Chain A
Amino acid sequence: MSQNLLVVKDVAMHFHTEDGEVFALDGVSFEIRYGETFALVGETGCGKSVTAMTILGLLPPQASVSRGEVLFHDDTLRRRLRMTGPGPVDLLKLSNRQMLKLRGVRIALISQDPSSSLDPLYRIEAQIGEVLNTHRGIDGKKAKEEVLRLLNSVELAPAEEIAKKYPHQLSGGQCQRVVIAMALASQPSLLIADEPTTSLDVSIQAEILELMAELIRGSNTSLLLITHDLAVVAEVSDRVGVMYAGSVCEIADVRSLFAHPIHPYTRGLLAAVPSITQRKAEMDYIPGSVPDLMHPPAGCRFHPRCKYATEVCKGRKPKMVAVETEHYVVCHHYAACLP
């Protein structure tokens, strides 16, 4: 049996807009293994969140997936869908009804802005209770007890008081803990955290990350962490996928990636992180700007900004190559960039 929990294979997706098609994802591939933390990094607009929404089947109506597979290896989901036999489920082929047996149960989401991800009109206990009722069929007194247990598990105290509160009465960090409690309520096998700490105070970010790491460590849940914060990546993730303009350009073990990044974009990204030990007169940056996804560059999407680019990069899309165990890169000229 494969140790992969989720395999995203060559997914391409575009949005229909009034001005034309926006090719948001173009051949996104990566896999997430059981119990690991996989980080997806990249700039704003590179398709990280869209990838998460594709996995969950929550793309807006104007989006359409043109190719690819999202294979989910989860026996509980197979049972819930009354599928017989082994093998993965292709999430892109599930109906909306079937997705209800997946969302919040087998794959849960933690979103970017905790204070706006809770319905302002309902008490915390009602919002968590709703999940318990829908997915685990418990309500009444039992649900109340479970709500308190969950709130305690995310270290929200006093739980009885928090349960009775409305979202606007809680801080951002507290709201995020509630969202985490809700996400973990039905012990999903994959947790997707989309920039879970971006809108929080720096002092609270570490706490939330630690809490998430601790909670999933005990439960063999895998975590897909979407972030643009390389410090967060270095801190908590096992493996990293780097995204640029709708495609994955490098996937590696976190140590390997930070020690010797190969793809020119990854190298630029890491070089752009200011360091306190090496003060420079000028900050490093990647020349040029992120391409307009309505008219993405042909071939390798990074070629207009890449100093290694040659004719071949303009014409042909590079394939993913394994440069060593646990280190893959999508570049025609990776050999020139090897350490």
Chain B
Amino acid sequence: MRSYILKKLAIAVLVFLGVYTIVFLLCFMMPGDPVRVSMGLHSDPQAVELLTHAWGLDEPRYVQYFSYLKCFVMGDWGISFRYEDKAVLGIILDRLPRTAYLGLWGIIFSVILSIPLGVIAAYKQNKPPDNAAVLISQIGVSLPNFWLGLMLIAIVAVGLRWISPIPQVPHSELWSFPGFFTSLKPYSLAIITLGTGMMATTTRLTRSSMLEIIRQDYITMLRAKGMPEHVVILKHALRNALIPVVTIVGMQVLILIGGVVLTETVFAINGLGRLYVDAITARDYPIITALTLVYAAAVVIMNLIVDLSYSLIDPRVKLG
């Protein structure tokens, strides 16, 4: 187990290095110049030169590559081009709570709905509950989440005036008790927007996985042993069926990163997703690089959690 985690961490270092290199190259291949974005097209050439020098952009590229890498490893993530004098790390930490809150509840929303829905659908295969579940997930998969977000705002927030279209909660409150739960209401539209697509995918997967398991010999044997249906389905079939579902939920964290960008833009939530978009518009290289690496870290950690949870669910899996 420990050697497994160490091996994964060694691979993670390589992943980070690769991601860093690619982002670095992409930044320089991107048209546009952060100095020009910052100062405008018709600015004083001398001032442009000064700022270019101040940001270190006049150095040869390989020098920039290594010097930023070195600083990054040392924990100095630099200052943002756009929000001058603000440390990149500080900006990210400032935005992180909102995105993490939205993402976590998005996953909870999707899992809480999709697993029961998938189980019921499989258990009542080809009957009305199954048809309903298949229809719901079909709709969920087909709805683009930015459109869903706009519709929810138009109907629930603007039309019915049930809640404010923009969740206004100080981020310090999100991760406190009872703020963690009371903030659910203002965030609900954003959470639904983010979670619906995931919910639909997970429902379909849970359904097909359950159908596969229900056909297995040991399910028939459990029934022949006289086990009541709730034991057969919930204790045995569901646990077996969840193995592939765990992988997909883990991988959805990747999809979530894309979803967060759209959702935060629609709901004007000042989170990492919007920061990303703004940073790219402003050619804010330090933010782009740091944020991409943070995302890469999230993916690596999530994969590790998925692998570890395998070994918890399935005794046949030995990590090593």
Counting chain A CB atoms within 10 Å of each CB, which of B218, B314, B316 scores highest? Answer: B218
Using an 8 Å CB-CB cutoff, how does the interface string of B209-235 with A read, 1 for contact, 0 for none? 000000011101111111111010000
Which residue from A58, A120, A168 sits with its C-beta under 8 Å from B223? A58
Shortest CB–CB separation between residue A150 and chain B, in angstroms? 13
Residue of B nearest to A58 (CB): B223
User: Contact flags (1/0) for A174-210 with B, using CB distance below 8 Å?
Assistant: 0000010011000000000000000000000000000
Instruction: Find out whether the CB atom of B226 lies under 8 angstroms from the CB atom of A116.
Output: no
Q: Taking the complex as formed, is B240 at the interface, i.e. its CB lies under 8 A from any CB of chain A?
A: yes
Q: Which of A55-76 contact B (CB under 8 A)?
A: 56, 58
Among A102, A117, A118, A168, which residue has its beta carbon within 8 angstroms of that of B226? A102
CB neighbours of B316 from chain A (8 A) = 120, 166, 168
Known contacts A119-B240, A166-B315; A182/B220 CB under 8 A? no
Q: How many residue-residue contacts, CB under 8 A, span A and B? A: 73
Contact segment of A40-48, A83-91, A129-137, A235-243? A129-137
Residue of B at shortest CB range from A105?
B226
- How many residues belonging to A are interface residues under a CB distance threshold of 8 Å? 30
Q: Is the CB of B227 within 8 A of A130?
A: yes
Question: Cβ of B225: which chain A residues have Cβ within 8 Å of it?
Answer: 103-104, 108-109, 130-131, 134, 182-183
Q: A100-B226, A134-B226, A134-B227 are in contact. Are A118 and B221 (CB under 8 A)?
A: yes
Known: A116-B216, A116-B218, A121-B314. A109 touches B240 (CB 8 A): no
For A134, the chain B residues whose CB sits under 8 A away are: 225-228, 231
Contact B315–A116 (Cβ < 8 Å): no
Quick check: B239 and A117 within 8 Å, CB to CB?
Answer: no
Residues of B close to A58: CB separation below 8 A:
220, 223-224
Q: Could you tell me if B221 and A168 are in contact, using CB atoms closer than 8 angstroms?
A: no
Contact B314 A103 (CB under 8 A): no
Mark A154-167 against chain B: 1 for CB-CB distance below 8 A, else 0.
00000000000010
List of B residues within 8 angstroms of A96 by Cβ:
229
State how many residues of chain B have any CB contact under 8 Å with chain A. 21
Q: Say yes or no for A113: interface residue by CB 8 A criterion.
A: yes
A29 interfacial by beta-carbon distance below 8 Å: no
Task: From the candidates A102, A119, A135, name the one contacting B236 in the complex (CB within 8 A).
Answer: A119
Tell me the chain B residues, 172-223 only, with Cβ under 8 Å from chain A: 216-218, 220-223
Chain B residue with minimal CB distance to A61?
A: B125
Q: Tell me, yes or no, whether A111 is within 8 Å of chain B by CB.
A: yes
Using an 8 Å CB-CB cutoff, how does the interface string of B296-320 with A read, 1 for contact, 0 for none? 0000000000000000011110000
Q: How far is the CB of B305 from chain A (nearest CB, A)?
A: 19
Given A121-B240, A166-B316, are A109 and B224 also a contact pair (CB < 8 Å)?
yes
B residues within 8 A CB of A130?
225, 227, 231
CB within 8 Å of A: which B149-168 residues: none
In the bound complex, CA of A117 to CA of B224 (Å): 11
Complex Cα–Cα for A179 and B217 (A): 12
A:219-276 near B, CB below 8 Å: none
**B240–A104 contact, CB under 8 A?**
no
Q: Residues of A contacting B236 with CB < 8 Å?
A: 119, 121-122
Docked pose: A100 CA to B231 CA in angstroms: 12
Chain B 226-259 residues near chain A, CB threshold 8 A? 226-229, 231, 236, 239-240
B217 touches A116 (CB 8 A): yes
Q: A120 near B240 (CB under 8 angstroms)? A: yes
B120, chain A: closest CB distance, angstroms: 15
On chain A, the residues within 8 Å of B222 by CB distance are 119
Residue of B nearest to A121 (CB): B239
Q: A119-B236, A120-B316, A166-B315 are in contact. Are A108 and B221 (CB under 8 A)?
A: no
C-alpha gap A111/B218 in the complex (Å): 9
- Given A111-B217, A111-B220, A113-B217: A120 and B315 within 8 A (CB)? yes
Q: Provide the bound-state CA to CA distance between A9 and B32, in Å.
A: 86
B238 to chain A, nearest CB (A): 10
Q: How distant is B243 from chain A, measured CB to nearest CB, in Å?
A: 9
> Which chain A residue lies CB-closest to B220?
A58
Residue interface mask A110-128, B partner, CB < 8 A = 1 = 0111001111111000000
Known: A120-B316, A121-B313. A111 touches B226 (CB 8 A): no
Chain A residue nearest to B240 (CB atoms) is A121
By a CB distance below 8 angstroms, the chain A residues around B216 are 116
Q: How far is the CB of B106 from chain A (nearest CB, A)?
A: 28
Query: Which residue of chain B has its CB nearest to the CB of A100?
Result: B226
The answer to whether B221 touches A109 (Cβ under 8 A) is yes
CB pair B221–A120 under 8 Å, yes or no, is no
Pairwise interchain contact A121-B315, C-beta atoms closer than 8 A:
yes
Q: Write the chain A residue with the least CB distance to B219.
A: A119
- In the bound complex, do residue B221 and residue A117 qualify as a contact, i.e. CB atoms below 8 Å apart? yes
Q: Is the CB of A100 within 8 A of B224?
A: no
26 chain-A/chain-B pairs, Cβ below 8 angstroms: A56-B224, A58-B220, A103-B223, A103-B224, A104-B227, A105-B226, A108-B224, A108-B225, A109-B221, A109-B224, A111-B217, A111-B220, A111-B221, A111-B224, A112-B217, A117-B217, A117-B220, A117-B221, A119-B236, A120-B315, A121-B239, A121-B314, A121-B315, A130-B231, A134-B227, A166-B316
The 5 closest A-B pairs by CB, nearest first: A104-B226, A109-B224, A103-B226, A104-B225, A116-B217
**Which A residues lie at the B interface, using CB under 8 A?**
56, 58, 96, 100-105, 108-109, 111-113, 116-122, 130-131, 134-135, 166, 168, 179, 182-183
- 10 new A-B contacts at CB < 8 Å, known A111-B224, A179-B221: A58-B223, A103-B225, A104-B224, A104-B227, A109-B224, A111-B220, A112-B217, A119-B240, A120-B314, A121-B314
